[in-house]
Structure 1
Amino acid sequence: MPVPSHPTRRALLFGSAGTAALLAGGPGALLGTGSAAPRPALPVADTAVSLDAAPVTVDLGSRTVHTWGYADRVPGPEIRVTAGGTVSARLHNNLPQETTVHWHGLRIDPTMDGAPGLSQVAVAPGDVFDYRFTAPDPGTYFYHSHVGTQLDRAAYGALVVEDPAEPLGYDAEWIVVLDDWIDGTGTDPDAALNLIRTGPVQTMHSTLLGGTAGHIDYPHYLVNGRTPEAPEVFTETPGRRIRLRLINAGADTAFRVALGGHELTVTHTDGYPVVPVTVDTLLIGMGERYDVLVTLADGVFPLVAAAEGKNARAFAVLRTSAGEAPSASVAVPELRGRLLTLADLVVDPSVDLGDTPARGVDLVLGRGRDGTGWTLGTSSAFDSPPLRVPVALGERVRLSFTNTTRMWHPVHLHGHTFQVRGATGRGPRKDTVMVRPRESVAVDVLAENPGEWMLHCHNLYHSELGMMATFGYGETPPPGPDMPGMSGMSGPG
């Protein structure tokens, strides 16, 4: 259901795209001077939540599965807090193995980051851990387990940090969480990991991604925990302006997203504002988030998230009037329309890191010698122990990622954001960036959050198989939890 336009806006939502009316209103329409009302100022507020990690049974719409999660639904509980407010989350571990919670994209204290063996000791079965942190930056984020393959179950949920002085004008918002699903379908993520580890495994190709699209041909692809056979239906009113918060919580799948009959005006990526750009479709990698504004047309429309290179899709329905709902296989011309590229994204001046020279660090995304492992280091070989990039407080570091493999990698840095450096140097602020095969991507990081932080591929199976490094302050790590081997550090973040 749509979220009403009042400060709490607690319901889960979803939707996408048209901007002809928005563009007719001019740039000021984005700031609340068009048809949509400006967002009311919000008081700084705190949020408390209890997360019970446990075996659960969830209804995906077309089937019921047994899995591990935080509630009897997928995704887990939505968490909202105002920027500057405090999140207090008590984790109860009722799983048969240890677990943590990682707060993906947030610049928080490292002891709250949920990186097992690096920032905290993983929470043992039967134990409780209290996460408490201030949410500094408005934006669209999510939280998830950072142990083993638990993310590829149901151990994740949306996290929205609201701006107390929201500059965008819109009437309501929807959250859309995309996922690829295998657990409880006759196999599980641990079995999938073992197959990828022992190889060879089937691979799927995508011209758009420049090579191999993924390892797993999932039986289901989900929008807010629903399969295309029993999709979620969102009901709204024609002419209303909607803020769509897109989150890719998948483990091995990039999604190409479009809303039939509409355009998408992209306003944020990974929580940070960009100069608005209007497109027909966008590609979202694992761990990435996009915010878009949409002015809704009159009718019944398909929201499609094509599983890139996998010949399948996640699907939902947007209804603004009576009429027959489209089928899950309906053709959506917008999927073949103007595609958002990284070069299209220009940072909003308010969050531009500027042009201060940066120290360069060249990093290589590669394969292990046996052809099954994955690496992130100074060469395509494994670093043992894992590579550590040392930085000093206040330093600016330029990380240049070169992909020597035949597969794309969404690279994620914990506890920081970075600015992508393109031809003009004015790329977006992000915390997760796609690096395609034979491509190099440079990002600038301002070292302003002391601690020891994970830097890794957000393909769950690549990080589990070694595509992991650390980003730490000072020449040697400070005293902390015992550092395990690579398998103990693994997991997406």
Structure 2
Amino acid sequence: MSSGREGTPALYPRDRVVHRRGMEHPGHDHAHHHTPAAAPFPTDPAGLPEATAPATLEPGDGATVALTIAPVAKRLDGATVRMLAYNGSVPGPALTVRQDTELTVDVANEGDLETTVHWHGLRLDNSSDGVPGATQAPIAVGGRHTYRLRFPDPGLYWYHPHLREDYTQELGLYGTILVRPADDDYWPPAHRDVVLTLDDLLVEDGRIAPFSPAETTHAAMGRFGNVYLTGGDPAPGLTANAGEVVRFWLVDTANTRTFDVRVPGARMKLVGGDSGRVEHDEFVDGVVVAPSERTVVDVLFPAPGAYALEHHTPVGTHRLATVTVGATPATPDLTAAFEALGGAPDLAAERAGLDPWLAAEPDEVLSFVAELAMDHGDHGGHHAHAHGGHHGPSATADGIEWEDEMVEMNRASTSATVAWRIVDPATGEEPDWRFTAGQRVKIRLVNELESDHPMQHPFHLHGAGRFLVLARDGATEPNLVWKDTVLVRTGETVDLLFDVTNPGRWMAHCHIAEHHESGMMFGFTVDEAATAAP
């Protein structure tokens, strides 16, 4: 399934930093091109335009959308902070398009540093994937770039930078794309669609906690925030009618935080994931959404009153939004339709052909490992904690670190002292993949416990194709859905079936921004399918 990559471009063909065991990864010192190492990124919101509410745009087939990146002043609870925005809003414009249409996006960069825009989850032409050095040159400050997008799959997708995501995405550069299916009966009936980004910000002394232009901090666990943002605002108020079925489209845009979303007192039905419908709908108490994952849930609000959209962790509950339900009954009455459990016929057909893939050995295996070069007492203590060495209530449970329990150690960790790696366990080196469009490939992801800091990783494959989760720790996945990101919990082994469709040079990486910026990524090549002889 693999071969050498001679003649293919490097993923980031610029200055690189060599870490232990010969590992290379982006040093991201491209920030030096724009901001001297001694000068921090700006934090003062004075004189900046106030962030606006995101626009809702429904461009038609062949339309052009303009996006401008620029700083804004964003009001949060008790503070006004400097953030970055697409078109003046955090999140950026919410796009709604039709399946099988095309769109041109013109991007102007008036931000803090060079950038790109990655169209997360879309199976698209490689030239518009937004990976610096592989598919485009970075957009300089004051520069512009044009992307051409197509939308072959229904579902929720999103866009964000792919340079210094730990800084730019954290400061608000993200937005959503809802792709309506060509078949109007694809989704079960609902009264309303509500698209929500789930995020958090680390705010200290009335400012967003500082970033280094020269390196990524919080590299060990990622930057956990202390202010939650839902749709860009802390605990916004939403409304619904009694008996209304609201379809929530959830996307986790946080740097590192995984969300466990629940709505106590209401009924929740899982109907979709990253790229369309699940194999079969199911009633759930809550849904776990990892960075860059999307989850689609229908929520029935049975009676008037106030309902909380909550994030639950082993050590606490956080209110993400409040839904005030009025006494007016929703029309039409969709209760019976809500009680019905449908599903995706195409995934039922996929299920019928999975047995050979489940039985087969993987074509490719990846291991997730960390190498820490910090003070032994610091990282050693955290290593023991991650393996259960901490007594009392813990925010680490079910293979997920829900909170930052080693704040000072994590803050001090940088991309120079923490090397996150994705390796081929057969060689101990970066994976060496070469596929052909039209292939299906079984990939095994192994989240190694024997690592300097084992923790969960949301693994993302760029737009070369999409995948199904086959099994977790040998247990067959009970509910299929097409995905581009999968959460691999601490110590877990996950098998994927990767449906390769698009040629080009592509990227795979952990979507914890600080892990990606600290080397947890690699590039792979997909060749054009051979043309049959006439």
TM-score bucket of the superposed structures, by smaller chain: 0.7 to 0.9
SS at 1:237's partner residue? strand
Contact preservation (8 Å) 2:200, 2:224: no
Letter in 1 for 2:353: G
Number of residue-to-residue matches in the alignment: 397
2:175 paired with 1:161: no
Q: Which string of whole-angstrom CA distances, capped at 9 and with x for unpartnered residues, describes residues 91-148 of structure 1?
A: 0011231111111110000111111111111111111111112111111111111111
Letter in 1 for 2:240: E
Question: 1:300: Cα distance to partner?
Answer: 3.0
Cα gap change, 1:439 to 1:248, in 2 (>3 Å): same
The residue that corresponds to 1:188 in the other structure is 210
Q: Aligned match of 2:446 in 399, 402, 413?
A: 402
Cα gap change, 1:409 to 1:283, in 2 (>3 Å): same
The residue that corresponds to 2:20 in the other structure is none
Question: 1:304: Cα distance to partner?
Answer: 3.3
Query: Which whole-Å CA distance do the structure 2 matches of 1:390 and 1:294 have between them?
Result: 43
Question: 1:49: Cα distance to partner?
Answer: 1.7
Query: Which whole-Å CA distance do the structure 2 matches of 1:353 and 1:109 have between them?
Result: 30
Query: Which whole-Å CA distance do the structure 2 matches of 1:221 and 1:191 have between them?
Result: 25
TM-score, L = length of structure 2: 0.68
2:103 paired with 1:87: yes
Contact preservation (8 Å) 2:216, 2:514: no
Contact preservation (8 Å) 2:222, 2:512: no
2:229 paired with 1:222: yes
Unaligned runs of 5+ in 1: 1-9, 13-41, 202-213, 323-343, 476-493
Contact preservation (8 Å) 1:46, 1:82: no
Q: Where do residues 61-460 of structure 1 align in structure 2 (5 Å cutoff)?
A: 61-148=77-164, 149=166, 150-167=168-185, 168-182=188-202, 185-190=207-212, 194-197=216-219, 214-227=221-234, 231-274=235-278, 275-306=280-311, 308=313, 311=316, 313-321=318-326, 348-349=347-348, 354-355=353-354, 357=357, 360-368=363-371, 370=373, 372-379=418-425, 383=429, 386-404=430-448, 405=451, 406-415=454-463, 416-422=465-471, 423-424=475-476, 427-460=480-513
Cα gap change, 1:251 to 1:257, in 2 (>3 Å): same
Query: Which whole-Å CA distance do the structure 1 matches of 2:174 and 2:305 have between them?
Result: 30
Instruction: Kindly name which structure, 1 or 2, has the bigger radius of gyration based on alpha carbons.
Output: 2
SS at 2:326's partner residue? coil
Contact preservation (8 Å) 1:269, 1:430: yes
Query: Which whole-Å CA distance do the structure 1 matches of 2:124 and 2:433 have between them?
Result: 19
Contact preservation (8 Å) 1:257, 1:282: yes
Question: 1:395: Cα distance to partner?
Answer: 1.7
Contact preservation (8 Å) 1:90, 1:130: yes
Letter in 1 for 2:263: L
The residue that corresponds to 1:58 in the other structure is 74
Query: Which whole-Å CA distance do the structure 2 matches of 1:353 and 1:394 have between them?
Result: 19
Contact preservation (8 Å) 2:85, 2:92: yes
Cα gap change, 1:271 to 1:11, in 2 (>3 Å): farther
Contact preservation (8 Å) 1:285, 1:434: yes
Contact preservation (8 Å) 1:255, 1:305: no
Query: Which whole-Å CA distance do the structure 1 matches of 2:216 and 2:243 have between them?
Result: 50
Query: Which whole-Å CA distance do the structure 2 matches of 1:377 and 1:347 have between them?
Result: 33
Letter in 2 for 1:260: P
RMSD: 3.0
Cα gap change, 1:283 to 1:169, in 2 (>3 Å): same
Query: Which whole-Å CA distance do the structure 2 matches of 1:74 and 1:269 have between them?
Result: 23
Structure 1 stretches of 4+ moved >6 Å: 344-347
Q: % of aligned pairs identical?
A: 29
Question: 1:305: Cα distance to partner?
Answer: 3.9
SS at 1:123's partner residue? coil
The residue that corresponds to 2:5 in the other structure is none
Letter in 2 for 1:159: I
Query: Which whole-Å CA distance do the structure 1 matches of 2:91 and 2:149 have between them?
Result: 22
TM-score, L = length of structure 1: 0.74
Q: Which string of whole-angstrom CA distances, capped at 9 and with x for unpartnered residues, describes residues 176-223 of structure 1?
A: 1100113672523447964435xxx7xxxxxxxxxxxx4434221111
Contact preservation (8 Å) 1:100, 1:115: yes
Contact preservation (8 Å) 1:258, 1:304: yes
Contact preservation (8 Å) 2:458, 2:512: yes
The residue that corresponds to 1:329 in the other structure is none
Question: 1:310: Cα distance to partner?
Answer: 7.3
SS at 1:196's partner residue? coil
Query: Which whole-Å CA distance do the structure 1 matches of 2:370 and 2:345 have between them?
Result: 32
Cα gap change, 1:11 to 1:241, in 2 (>3 Å): farther
Query: Which whole-Å CA distance do the structure 1 matches of 2:467 and 2:352 have between them?
Result: 9
Contact preservation (8 Å) 1:180, 1:252: no
Cα gap change, 1:193 to 1:407, in 2 (>3 Å): farther
Contact preservation (8 Å) 2:258, 2:289: yes
SS at 2:138's partner residue? coil
Query: Which whole-Å CA distance do the structure 2 matches of 1:411 and 1:78 have between them?
Result: 25
Contact preservation (8 Å) 1:272, 1:351: no
Query: Which whole-Å CA distance do the structure 2 matches of 1:308 and 1:91 have between them?
Result: 38
Question: 1:62: Cα distance to partner?
Answer: 4.2
Contact preservation (8 Å) 1:273, 1:351: no
Query: Which whole-Å CA distance do the structure 1 matches of 2:315 and 2:212 have between them?
Result: 21
Contact preservation (8 Å) 2:222, 2:255: no
SS at 2:506's partner residue? strand
Q: Which string of whole-angstrom CA distances, capped at 9 and with x for unpartnered residues, describes residues 330-372 of structure 1?
A: xxxxxxxxxxxxxx99983266693365761011000126361
Letter in 2 for 1:262: A
SS at 1:348's partner residue? helix
The residue that corresponds to 1:484 in the other structure is none
Q: Which string of whole-angstrom CA distances, capped at 9 and with x for unpartnered residues, describes residues 56-110 of structure 1?
A: 2122354321012213332111111100111211100112311111111100001
Letter in 1 for 2:209: T
Contact preservation (8 Å) 1:182, 1:189: no
The residue that corresponds to 1:341 in the other structure is none
Cα gap change, 1:191 to 1:118, in 2 (>3 Å): closer
SS at 2:218's partner residue? helix
